[in-house]
Every structure is written in structure tokens, then in C-alpha cells.
Amino acid sequence: MALPSLIVLDGITNALTLHDLDPLSNRDVSDFDRRVIRPMLSLTAATAAAAGMRGSGAAVVLLDHVTKAREDRGRYQIGAVHKLNRLNGAAYGLKAVDPIRPGRQGRSTVMISKDRPGRLKVHAAPKPDADGLLTFADLVVTSEGTDPGSPVTVMVAARTGSDASPKPSAEDHREAIDAVRRSRLMADISNLLAPSQTDPARAMSGRKVGDTLRAAGGRLTTSALGAALAGLEADGYITPTTHRLLRRFYVVTEDDDEAEDADEADSRGSS
């Protein structure tokens, strides 16, 4: 059993009420931190080894909302100020710039509201805005279609120094679209190699994968095929050289998330 590397609580207000704690109470937020969050952060390599688990420790991400009244918002989330004050690490906020919607590219600005180690501020805008937030990066979400299940690419574009609010460039847009297309190709290759997961004799060379996809009507360049195969190999989805599927790759939709979870559960059950 592996130690989780990432733990996400979505959202913190619901988590507090689940434990019968008041999100408006600094005392209750402190109690929640002690009872729930700190034990998660204490999951280290040593505790993992003692429990017979693998891993080096978990990062904990807490998701929350801000108040609706912009003039009362500042750097803080909704509820008790101790949510931010207790934090050892970084706190970020999102400011909508271009709407995120199907078939379009949208953008939000990633802002730093707290950076206790001080390692992030050197990469942010030099001066905070009126709310005390430092501009840090752009969250760019590109949707390739309006149909349910259309591929979506999420990219974080870092800022540099005094660069306050650049628009995503045409190159950023092309890179996002290329990433979507590469993911779809990786899913096609995964589907093609699916029989080899249980029958190693049905593994294929890279050339045969390309020839088979082209014969099925796919428009495929050698460089695109190479990038997709390299991505699948690097992340442990297929074996190198003569490619056999090790685990399924899915283009991310809600249905595919459930399918991949089931596939990984089957792999654990058979190992």
C-alpha cells in the first residue's frame, strides 16, 4: 500500500461542519487543524515505513471560498481568520479574467495571499494589489468543444517579476490545443493496445501502432506519435520498444475518472 502524495479537502467549510465545528470560530478552526490537518501532514516516510506503506509524505491542499462582498474580502477566505493565520506554507486565490466555458479558452489570475517560507514571492509581481495579494501566475483552461466529454486542458503559466497581467499568447493557446490532441492520441493508443494488457503476444511496435491508427483513418504525424508514445512510457502506461499496455490511459472526463479508478482497483486486486 502506498502513502498518498497529495491530499485535497474540498471544501474546508464542509469539512468543518462534518466534524460539528463552526467555520466562523477561530477556536474551532484551530481544533480542526490539530485533529485533522496536522495528522495528514505528519504522514512522513518514517510513519509510512512503520505502517508498511511506501512514500515520502503528503502535501495537503485545502479548498475554500471567499466572501461575496469584494470590499470585505482582502486576503482572507470566508469565515474565521485563523484559516489563513494558522497556515504554514502558501495560500493562493483566483481572480477571474476571461470566463471559463465550453468551447473557449478562459483564464484566471493566480494570486498569493500568504507565503510563510517566502520562496514564492520572488517569482511574483513586486507589489501587492489593493487587497494585499501578489500576482503570481495565470490559470489557463482550454476547452476544445461544447459537447459533454470534450477534452479540456488546464495549464498554469508562470509570471515573471513586474509582469502584472499578460494575456495568454497565441503560442500558449497552440500549446494548450496540442496538449489536448496529444492526450486524445494517447487515449487512442491505450485503446488499441488494450488486448495486450492480458495477452502479451498482442503487443505492438511503435511503427505498427502508427500504421494501425493511420489505417483506421487517423491523421497522424511521426512526431505526434513519438510524443504520445514517450508520454505513455514515461508515466508507466506502456512498456518501451515493443509496447504492451500496463494500465489504461483515459482522456479526463467524469466518466473516464470513474473508469480509471475501477481499472486501478482491478490492478491492485490482481497484484
What confidence tens digit (pLDDT) does each residue in 101-121 have? 888 888 898 998 888 777 788
- The arithmetic mean of pLDDT across residues 151-178, rounded, is 65
Residue (of 20, 10, 9, 13) closest to 79 by Cα position? 13
Mean pLDDT of 219-231: 86
| Residues 5, 11 contacting (CB under 8 angstroms) | no
d(CA 99, CA 108): 8
pLDDT of 14 higher than 80: yes
Burial label, 5 (beta-carbon count in 10 A; 0-12, 13-18, 19+) = exposed
User: Which of helix, strand or coil describes residue 127?
Assistant: coil
How large a percentage of the chain has pLDDT more than 70? Answer: 76
Worst-scoring range by mean pLDDT, 61-65, 84-88, 162-166, 228-232? 162-166
What pLDDT, on a 0 to 100 scale, did the predictor assign at position 173? 61
Q: Write out the three cell numbers for 40.
A: 495528514
Percent of the chain with pLDDT over 90: 16
pTM above 0.75?
no
How far apart are alpha carbons 186 and 192 in whole angstroms? Answer: 10
Considering only the top CATH level, what class is 176-270?
mainly alpha
Domain layout of the chain by residue ranges: 1-88, 91-167, 176-270
* 135: phi then psi, degrees, rounded to nearest 5: -70, 130
Strands 105-115 and 134-143: antiparallel
Distances (CA, A) of 143 to 167, 227, 247, 260: 17, 21, 26, 21
With 90 as the cut, is the pLDDT of residue 165 above it? no
Q: How far apart are CA 232 and CA 254, in angstroms?
A: 21
Residues 134, 136, 139: CA angle, nearest 5 degrees: 130
Q: Which residue has the higher pLDDT, 2 or 186?
A: 186
CA atoms within 13 A on the CB side of 149: 6
* Element (DSSP H or E) covering residue 183: helix 170-192
Q: For residue range 41-91, list pLDDT tens digits in order.
A: 776 656 666 666 555 567 889 999 887 776 666 778 888 888 888 787 889
pLDDT of residue 262: 44
Residue 23, C-beta contacts closer than 8 angstroms, at least 6 positions apart: 12, 13, 16, 17, 29, 78, 79, 80, 83
For residue 83, give the nearest of 127, 4, 39, 21 by alpha carbon. 21
Say which residues have a Cβ less than 8 Å from residue 219's Cβ, sequence separation at least 6. none
